């Protein structure tokens, strides 16, 4: 008699846990922002992207903010000390910093980005996974 009762309670707990974890997963997706910065335009970086990314994290607009440096932005970042200083500020605020290794290698700046504390890696699958998880993705 005890064994069926134990199995019943374990089954109920397992089902309830699935619902709880599903809710956590949905909340994480709704509260995670991914910004893909590809533009080599300094004005786009200064007057929009950097300000928004930093404030989205600092002001708590999103719990998790992921900033991806991809394409021409990698070269711009490697050459501009003001943007590099802002990257430090973002990191200190808790922004997750990532960059595409293929693009960074094309511009010869992978080591420069790594020295700034940016996680330089293959980004195609990573970005695809972010999209599949339902994260909010903005591109510039």
Give pLDDT tens digits for 18-58. 544 444 455 788 899 999 999 999 999 999 999 999 999 99
Structure token pair of residue 7: 């199995």
Rounded-to-5 percentages of helix, strand, coil across the chain: 65, 15, 20
Share of the chain above pLDDT 70, in %: 81
Kindly tell me the burial class for residue 125, based on how many C-beta atoms sit within 10 Å of its own C-beta (0-12, 13-18, 19 or more).
Answer: exposed
Q: What is the pLDDT of residue 20?
A: 47
Can you tell me the distance from the alpha carbon of 129 to that of 45, in angstroms, rounded to the nearest whole number? Answer: 25
| Mean pLDDT on 106-119 | 98
Spatial contact of 48 and 39, defined as CB atoms under 8 Å apart:
no
Structure token pair of residue 61: 């607009």
Higher pLDDT, 100 or 9: 100
Q: What is the pLDDT of residue 58?
A: 97
Can you tell me the distance from the alpha carbon of 15 to that of 9, in angstroms, rounded to the nearest whole number? Answer: 10
User: Average pLDDT of the chain?
Assistant: 89
pLDDT at 86 over 70: yes
Spatial contact of 119 and 89, defined as CB atoms under 8 Å apart:
no
- The CATH code of the domain at 31-139 is 3.40.1260.10
Domain-by-domain residue ranges, the chain?
Answer: 1-30, 31-139
Q: What is the pLDDT of residue 46?
A: 95
Q: Which of 58, 67, 72, 75 is nearest to 112 (CA)?
A: 75
């Amino acid at each position: 008699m005890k064994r069926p009762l134990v199995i019943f309670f374990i089954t109920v707990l397992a089902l309830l846990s699935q619902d709880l974890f599903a809710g956590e997963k949905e909340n994480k997706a709704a509260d995670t922002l991914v910004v893909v910065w590809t533009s080599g335009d300094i004005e786009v970086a200064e007057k929009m992207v950097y300000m928004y990314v930093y404030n989205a994290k600092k002001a708590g607009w999103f719990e998790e903010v992921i900033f991806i440096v991809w394409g021409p932005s990698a070269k711009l970042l490697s050459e501009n000390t003001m943007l590099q200083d802002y990257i430090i500020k973002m990191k200190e605020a808790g922004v997750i910093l990532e960059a595409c290794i293929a693009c960074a290698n094309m511009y010869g700046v992978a080591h420069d980005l790594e020295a700034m504390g940016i996680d330089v890696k293959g980004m195609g699958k990573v970005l695809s996974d972010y999209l599949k998880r339902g994260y909010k993705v903005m591109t510039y």
